[in-house]
Amino acid sequence: MASETEIPLELPASHGLKIVLVEPEIPQNVGNIARLCAVTGATLHLVRPLGFFLTSKHLKRAGMDYWDQLEIHIHDDLPTLRRQMADSSYWLCSSKGGSLLWNIRFETGSWLVFGKESAGLPADWLASEPARAVRIPMIRGARCLNISTATGIVLFEALRQIQYID
């Protein structure tokens, strides 16, 4: 474990973090997130329906030479994924979340769940689990961040916590 004054040179090998994109619509965003997952060792989970084909040239170009380093899982629907996550630590990342990112305690193996670009996560899911709904602090009146930017912010906060605390 590194002290807070040391700068780690590498990420923890077994953080087990999982990035979930529910019904993603824009291949370039998914490509950027795939690249982020590849370089951090996070697993990428995509929930159908997808707004593009996995063979999309835009998707492949954004992730370019990282696809062979990526662990990716495709889920047919949200209920199936939710059953798989049921007994795990997971966080619903949304601009409508009630808890600030800085107040969350991430754990090894946490699932970080993001909604589709046009609508976010289902409102009924956020309402049914408000304690799991987390948001990134932004200035008043700001609508939201790009999903690939938001994913990077949340993922690296989780990695920071795991690196220094676990």
CATH number of the domain within which 52 lies: 3.40.1280.10
CA-closest candidate to residue 113, choices 97, 98, 102, 128: 97
At 91, give phi and psi (nearest 5°).
-130, 135
Local confidence pLDDT in tens for the 166 residues of the chain:
445 556 555 666 689 999 999 999 998 899 899 999 999 999 999 999 998 877 767 666 665 567 778 899 999 999 999 999 999 999 999 999 999 999 999 999 999 999 999 999 999 999 999 999 999 999 998 888 999 999 999 999 999 998 865 4
Its pTM stands at 0.89
Q: How many domains does the chain have?
A: 1
Domain that residue 92 falls in: 18-136+143-165
Domain presence at residue 13 = no
What pLDDT does 139 receive? 94
What pLDDT does 166 receive? 44
Domain presence at residue 64 = yes
What is d(CA 98, CA 151) in angstroms, rounded to the nearest whole number? Answer: 17
CA-closest candidate to residue 19, choices 43, 41, 39, 36: 43
Domain presence at residue 3 = no
Do 149 and 2 touch, CB atoms closer than 8 A? Answer: no
